[in-house]
Structure 1
Amino acid sequence: MTAYALARLQPTAAPHPDVATYIERIQETFEPFGGRFLVHGVTPERIEGEWEGDVVLVAFPDLAAAHAWYASPAYQEILPLRTAHLPGELIFLPGVPAGYDAATTAAALRAALPA
Protein backbone atom coordinates (compact mmCIF):
# COMPACT_ATOMS: atom_id res chain seq x y z
CA MET A 1 0.00 0.00 0.00
CA THR A 2 1.40 3.40 -0.99
CA ALA A 3 2.84 5.51 1.82
CA TYR A 4 3.68 9.17 1.88
CA ALA A 5 6.35 11.36 3.41
CA LEU A 6 4.84 14.76 4.12
CA ALA A 7 7.02 17.68 5.16
CA ARG A 8 5.99 21.15 6.23
CA LEU A 9 8.97 23.47 5.98
CA GLN A 10 8.92 26.76 7.85
CA PRO A 11 9.78 29.99 6.08
CA THR A 12 13.16 31.52 6.77
CA ALA A 13 14.48 35.02 6.26
CA ALA A 14 17.07 34.05 3.66
CA PRO A 15 17.91 30.72 2.03
CA HIS A 16 21.19 29.08 2.97
CA PRO A 17 23.47 27.52 0.30
CA ASP A 18 23.32 24.18 2.17
CA VAL A 19 19.57 24.04 1.48
CA ALA A 20 20.24 24.34 -2.25
CA THR A 21 22.74 21.47 -1.98
CA TYR A 22 20.17 19.39 -0.08
CA ILE A 23 17.56 20.01 -2.79
CA GLU A 24 20.05 19.11 -5.53
CA ARG A 25 20.80 15.78 -3.85
CA ILE A 26 17.54 14.63 -2.23
CA GLN A 27 15.87 13.00 -5.24
CA GLU A 28 18.75 10.60 -5.78
CA THR A 29 18.34 9.42 -2.16
CA PHE A 30 14.75 8.26 -2.47
CA GLU A 31 14.75 6.88 -6.01
CA PRO A 32 16.35 3.54 -4.91
CA PHE A 33 13.41 3.12 -2.52
CA GLY A 34 10.77 3.82 -5.15
CA GLY A 35 10.12 7.36 -3.91
CA ARG A 36 8.91 10.13 -6.16
CA PHE A 37 7.88 13.72 -5.67
CA LEU A 38 4.17 14.45 -5.80
CA VAL A 39 4.50 17.99 -4.43
CA HIS A 40 7.77 19.85 -3.98
CA GLY A 41 8.23 23.06 -2.05
CA VAL A 42 4.99 24.82 -2.78
CA THR A 43 3.05 27.15 -0.54
CA PRO A 44 -0.41 25.62 -0.12
CA GLU A 45 -3.65 27.47 -0.60
CA ARG A 46 -5.03 27.57 2.96
CA ILE A 47 -8.75 26.88 3.03
CA GLU A 48 -9.29 26.08 6.73
CA GLY A 49 -7.26 26.46 9.89
CA GLU A 50 -3.77 27.78 10.43
CA TRP A 51 -0.87 26.85 8.19
CA GLU A 52 2.56 28.33 7.74
CA GLY A 53 5.26 27.03 5.48
CA ASP A 54 5.79 25.10 2.27
CA VAL A 55 4.82 21.51 1.55
CA VAL A 56 6.78 18.57 0.17
CA LEU A 57 4.99 15.28 -0.52
CA VAL A 58 6.85 12.14 -1.62
CA ALA A 59 5.16 8.81 -2.43
CA PHE A 60 6.80 5.47 -1.60
CA PRO A 61 5.60 1.96 -2.41
CA ASP A 62 4.94 1.31 1.30
CA LEU A 63 5.89 2.43 4.82
CA ALA A 64 8.86 0.06 4.93
CA ALA A 65 10.37 1.77 1.89
CA ALA A 66 9.77 5.23 3.41
CA HIS A 67 11.49 4.19 6.65
CA ALA A 68 14.36 2.57 4.74
CA TRP A 69 14.86 5.79 2.75
CA TYR A 70 14.93 7.96 5.86
CA ALA A 71 17.41 5.66 7.62
CA SER A 72 19.61 5.24 4.53
CA PRO A 73 23.20 6.48 4.72
CA ALA A 74 22.63 8.60 1.60
CA TYR A 75 19.76 10.52 3.17
CA GLN A 76 21.30 10.75 6.62
CA GLU A 77 24.38 12.31 5.01
CA ILE A 78 22.41 15.23 3.56
CA LEU A 79 19.72 15.61 6.23
CA PRO A 80 21.74 18.09 8.36
CA LEU A 81 22.02 20.39 5.33
CA ARG A 82 18.29 21.01 5.69
CA THR A 83 17.69 20.67 9.42
CA ALA A 84 20.44 23.14 10.34
CA HIS A 85 18.93 25.87 8.16
CA LEU A 86 15.30 25.09 7.39
CA PRO A 87 13.08 24.09 10.31
CA GLY A 88 10.08 21.91 9.70
CA GLU A 89 8.26 18.71 10.39
CA LEU A 90 8.23 15.35 8.57
CA ILE A 91 5.62 12.65 8.97
CA PHE A 92 4.95 9.32 7.27
CA LEU A 93 1.39 8.43 6.32
CA PRO A 94 0.04 5.10 5.12
CA GLY A 95 -2.30 5.38 2.17
CA VAL A 96 -5.69 3.73 2.10
CA PRO A 97 -6.00 0.26 0.60
CA ALA A 98 -7.47 -0.32 -2.84
CA GLY A 99 -11.24 -0.24 -2.70
CA TYR A 100 -11.32 1.89 0.45
CA ASP A 101 -14.78 3.23 1.24
CA ALA A 102 -15.17 6.03 3.77
CA ALA A 103 -18.65 4.75 4.58
CA THR A 104 -17.02 1.77 6.35
CA THR A 105 -15.05 4.14 8.56
CA ALA A 106 -18.19 6.17 9.26
CA ALA A 107 -20.07 3.00 10.23
CA ALA A 108 -17.31 2.03 12.67
CA LEU A 109 -17.40 5.53 14.14
CA ARG A 110 -21.19 5.38 14.56
CA ALA A 111 -20.92 1.96 16.22
CA ALA A 112 -18.49 3.43 18.78
CA LEU A 113 -20.73 6.41 19.65
CA PRO A 114 -22.62 6.30 22.92
CA ALA A 115 -26.25 5.26 22.58
Structure 2
Amino acid sequence: MTAYAIAHLRRPAADLPDEVLDYMERIQSTLDPYQGRFLVHGAPRTEVLEGTFDQALVIIGFPTFDQARDWYHSTAYQRLLPQRTDHLDGDCLLVDGVPPGYEAAATAAAIREAQSAAPDT
Protein backbone atom coordinates (compact mmCIF):
# COMPACT_ATOMS: atom_id res chain seq x y z
CA MET A 1 0.00 0.00 0.00
CA THR A 2 1.35 3.43 -0.91
CA ALA A 3 2.75 5.51 1.95
CA TYR A 4 3.55 9.18 2.14
CA ALA A 5 6.12 11.40 3.81
CA ILE A 6 4.43 14.73 4.48
CA ALA A 7 6.27 17.86 5.54
CA HIS A 8 4.50 21.03 6.62
CA LEU A 9 7.17 23.71 6.56
CA ARG A 10 6.92 27.25 7.84
CA ARG A 11 8.20 29.65 5.27
CA PRO A 12 11.35 31.52 6.29
CA ALA A 13 11.16 35.27 6.75
CA ALA A 14 13.86 35.82 4.15
CA ASP A 15 15.29 34.03 1.12
CA LEU A 16 16.20 30.37 1.43
CA PRO A 17 19.77 29.87 2.62
CA ASP A 18 22.28 28.03 0.44
CA GLU A 19 22.12 25.00 2.78
CA VAL A 20 18.41 24.53 2.05
CA LEU A 21 18.98 24.92 -1.68
CA ASP A 22 21.76 22.32 -1.46
CA TYR A 23 19.34 20.03 0.42
CA MET A 24 16.81 20.46 -2.39
CA GLU A 25 19.44 19.66 -5.01
CA ARG A 26 20.55 16.50 -3.22
CA ILE A 27 17.38 14.98 -1.74
CA GLN A 28 16.36 13.02 -4.84
CA SER A 29 19.51 10.89 -4.62
CA THR A 30 18.38 9.81 -1.12
CA LEU A 31 14.88 8.96 -2.38
CA ASP A 32 15.88 6.89 -5.41
CA PRO A 33 16.94 3.72 -3.53
CA TYR A 34 13.50 3.68 -1.83
CA GLN A 35 11.48 4.51 -4.95
CA GLY A 36 10.36 7.81 -3.43
CA ARG A 37 8.97 10.51 -5.69
CA PHE A 38 7.71 14.00 -5.11
CA LEU A 39 3.94 14.40 -5.45
CA VAL A 40 3.76 17.94 -4.06
CA HIS A 41 6.72 20.25 -3.53
CA GLY A 42 5.79 23.69 -2.30
CA ALA A 43 2.86 23.92 -4.75
CA PRO A 44 3.22 27.28 -6.48
CA ARG A 45 -0.56 27.45 -6.76
CA THR A 46 -2.47 26.85 -3.54
CA GLU A 47 -6.05 27.83 -2.79
CA VAL A 48 -6.96 27.87 0.89
CA LEU A 49 -10.57 26.72 1.22
CA GLU A 50 -10.78 26.62 5.01
CA GLY A 51 -8.63 28.19 7.70
CA THR A 52 -5.32 29.86 6.95
CA PHE A 53 -2.20 28.44 5.38
CA ASP A 54 0.89 30.47 4.57
CA GLN A 55 3.39 27.65 4.56
CA ALA A 56 4.91 25.10 2.24
CA LEU A 57 3.65 21.54 1.87
CA VAL A 58 5.77 18.66 0.60
CA ILE A 59 4.37 15.18 -0.11
CA ILE A 60 6.60 12.31 -1.21
CA GLY A 61 5.10 8.97 -2.22
CA PHE A 62 6.67 5.57 -1.55
CA PRO A 63 5.50 2.08 -2.56
CA THR A 64 5.30 0.98 1.10
CA PHE A 65 5.40 2.38 4.63
CA ASP A 66 8.59 0.43 5.33
CA GLN A 67 10.33 2.04 2.34
CA ALA A 68 9.25 5.49 3.56
CA ARG A 69 10.55 4.78 7.06
CA ASP A 70 13.78 3.25 5.75
CA TRP A 71 14.39 6.32 3.58
CA TYR A 72 13.87 8.74 6.46
CA HIS A 73 16.22 6.81 8.75
CA SER A 74 18.79 6.09 6.04
CA THR A 75 22.34 7.30 6.61
CA ALA A 76 22.24 9.34 3.39
CA TYR A 77 19.08 11.24 4.36
CA GLN A 78 20.05 11.71 8.01
CA ARG A 79 23.34 13.27 6.86
CA LEU A 80 21.40 15.68 4.63
CA LEU A 81 18.49 16.46 6.97
CA PRO A 82 20.17 19.12 9.16
CA GLN A 83 20.58 21.33 6.09
CA ARG A 84 16.79 21.73 6.16
CA THR A 85 15.99 21.44 9.87
CA ASP A 86 18.66 23.94 10.90
CA HIS A 87 16.96 26.60 8.73
CA LEU A 88 13.26 25.74 8.39
CA ASP A 89 10.76 24.97 11.14
CA GLY A 90 8.16 22.39 10.37
CA ASP A 91 6.54 19.06 10.99
CA CYS A 92 7.19 15.79 9.17
CA LEU A 93 5.21 12.58 9.35
CA LEU A 94 4.82 9.26 7.59
CA VAL A 95 1.32 7.99 6.81
CA ASP A 96 -0.14 4.95 5.11
CA GLY A 97 -2.44 5.55 2.18
CA VAL A 98 -5.74 3.75 1.81
CA PRO A 99 -6.07 0.44 -0.04
CA PRO A 100 -7.57 0.23 -3.52
CA GLY A 101 -11.36 0.37 -3.40
CA TYR A 102 -11.43 2.22 -0.07
CA GLU A 103 -14.78 3.80 0.75
CA ALA A 104 -15.20 6.38 3.50
CA ALA A 105 -18.86 5.34 3.90
CA ALA A 106 -17.79 1.80 4.85
CA THR A 107 -15.42 3.21 7.47
CA ALA A 108 -18.20 5.41 8.86
CA ALA A 109 -20.54 2.39 9.04
CA ALA A 110 -17.94 0.35 10.95
CA ILE A 111 -17.40 3.23 13.40
CA ARG A 112 -21.17 3.61 13.91
CA GLU A 113 -21.48 -0.11 14.59
CA ALA A 114 -18.60 -0.09 17.07
CA GLN A 115 -19.97 2.96 18.86
CA SER A 116 -23.47 1.52 19.15
CA ALA A 117 -22.07 -1.76 20.54
CA ALA A 118 -19.94 0.02 23.17
CA PRO A 119 -21.50 0.22 26.63
CA ASP A 120 -22.50 3.69 27.81
CA THR A 121 -20.15 5.16 30.37
**Matching of residues 1-115 of structure 1 within 5 Å:** 1-14=1-14, 15-42=16-43, 44-114=46-116
Q: Which has the larger radius of gyration?
A: 2
What CA deviation, in whole Å up to 9, does each residue of 1:13-64 have, x standing for no partner?
1211100000000111011101000011226321112333111100001110
The separation in 1 between residues aligned to 2:28 and 2:47, in whole angstroms, is 25
Which ranges in structure 1 are unaligned for 5 or more consecutive residues?
none
Runs of 4+ in 1 over 4 A off after TM superposition: none
The separation in 2 between residues aligned to 1:55 and 1:2, in whole angstroms, is 18
Please, which moves more after superposition, 47-56 or 93-102?
Answer: 47-56
Please, which moves more after superposition, 16-25 or 43-52?
Answer: 43-52
Please, which moves more after superposition, 50-59 or 73-82?
Answer: 50-59
RMSD value, Cα: 1.5
Aligned to 1:96, what secondary structure does the other structure show?
A: coil
Please, which moves more after superposition, 25-34 or 105-114?
Answer: 105-114
What CA deviation, in whole Å up to 9, does each residue of 1:65-105 have, x standing for no partner?
00000011110111000000011111111000112121210
Task: Give TM-score scaled by structure 2 length.
Answer: 0.88
The separation in 1 between residues aligned to 2:52 and 2:108, in whole angstroms, is 26
